[in-house]
């Protein structure tokens, strides 16, 4: 599936300490509605796009958000995905405006919940009360029939809580809500917060495996929740768990645009490198390279490539 990925503005209502944006970026320019419409037209002239994905910063607080959703869904009649912290959806009026902008188009959203303990989530977002607001927003979206997934970004501060988080998700959200466990890009704030954020696969994967054992138990009891692991190399997990690993997405981002202080960097780019994959020497002769999502390149820069164990 070919996706056009636009960060429509970098302003955010949270200050997550592992945000891939640098500290100054939230003050950067955002795209106006006209700029976004032009970007969409330019994208469609060059690429066959199956899906538009809006991100930020926090996309829902940008001025152009509702009109551009309307443009994509009603005028272009394309499916839309949204990466959002869901806080604004805690307000019913906003949710109503949003649903009317989406109309009958296909829509899905992904929201990060960083822990099942509110204080721990709020610590990572650096915003008191954010856990409650995100949860209310998420529940409102789920009740409105929106296709929703919860994402857990695995960092040094929270990896040991993963197995308990699984129970929280199964107890809090209905079966149709997906769950994504995700290793993060070690750049921007993440690199600055060395003690709290980066965690090696060696340390975190035993907890991923314990978490997946719980998921398997739930599955055996009839639950059908879609559970996926992102940006985790196959060779770092026991093959028993490979079923859950999301396959390579390196060809998926066909067009990309994000605001940047350097004008050149804020232009629309095609076939933008995702910063993830299997570009490492160790991967060249690996027998599972075609089905492996690989790793963030920033992870390999930080930890080296000693974690790779090519499959022969
Ligand atoms: S060696 Fe590379 S291709 Fe093979 S499983 Fe590991 S990350 Fe994937």
pLDDT tens digits for range 204-245: 999 999 999 999 999 999 999 999 999 999 999 999 999 999
Distance 236 CA to ligand 1 centre (A): 8
For domain 3-303, the CATH architecture is Alpha-Beta Barrel (3.20)
Ligand 1, residue 293: give the atom nearest the CA. 8
CA-nearest residue for atom 6, ligand 1, is 235
Q: What are phi and psi of 248, to 5 degrees?
A: -50, 140
- Asked whether the predicted pLDDT for residue 145 surpasses 80, the reply is yes
**Model confidence, pTM:** 0.94
Q: Is the CB of 21 under 6 A from ligand 1?
A: no
Contact at 8 Å (CB) between 181 and 208? yes
Which pLDDT score is estimated for 55? 95
247 pLDDT tier (thresholds 50, 70, 90): confident
CA-nearest residue for atom 3, ligand 1, is 289
Q: Is the CB of 291 under 6 A from ligand 1?
A: no
Ligand 1, residue 286: give the atom nearest the CA. 4
Distance 98 CA to ligand 1 centre (A): 41
- Asked whether the predicted pLDDT for residue 22 surpasses 60, the reply is no
């Amino acid at each position: 599936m070919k996706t056009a990925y636009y960060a429509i503005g970098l302003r955010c209502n949270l200050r997550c300490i592992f945000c891939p944006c640098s500290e100054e970026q939230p003050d950067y320019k955002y795209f106006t509605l006209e700029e976004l419409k032009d970007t969409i037209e330019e994208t469609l002239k060059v690429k066959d796009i199956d899906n538009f994905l809006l991100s930020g910063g926090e996309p829902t607080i940008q001025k152009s958000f509702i009109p551009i959703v309307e443009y994509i869904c009603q005028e272009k009649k394309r499916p839309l995905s949204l990466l959002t912290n869901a806080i604004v959806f805690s307000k019913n009026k906003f949710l109503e405006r949003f649903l009317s902008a989406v109309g009958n188009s296909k829509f899905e959203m992904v929201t990060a919940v960083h822990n099942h303990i509110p204080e721990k989530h709020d610590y990572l977002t650096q915003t008191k009360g954010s856990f409650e607001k995100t949860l209310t927003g998420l529940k409102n979206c789920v009740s409105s029939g929106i296709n929703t997934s919860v994402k857990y970004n695995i960092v040094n501060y929270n990896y040991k809580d993963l197995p308990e988080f699984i129970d929280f998700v199964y107890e809090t959200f209905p079966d149709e809500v997906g769950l994504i466990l995700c290793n993060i890009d070690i750049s921007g704030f993440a690199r600055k917060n060395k003690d709290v954020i980066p965690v090696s696969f060696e340390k975190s994967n035993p907890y991923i495996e314990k978490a997946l054992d719980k998921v398997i138990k739930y599955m055996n009891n009839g639950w059908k929740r879609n559970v996926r692991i992102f940006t985790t190399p196959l060779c770092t997990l026991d093959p028993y768990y490979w079923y859950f690993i999301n396959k390579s997405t390196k060809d998926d981002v066909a067009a990309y645009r994000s605001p940047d202080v350097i004008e050149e960097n804020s232009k629309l780019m095609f076939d933008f490198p995702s910063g993830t994959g299997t570009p490492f020497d160790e991967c060249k002769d690996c027998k599972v390279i075609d089905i492996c999502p690989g790793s963030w390149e920033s992870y390999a820069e930080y930890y080296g490539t000693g974690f790779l164990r090519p499959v022969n």
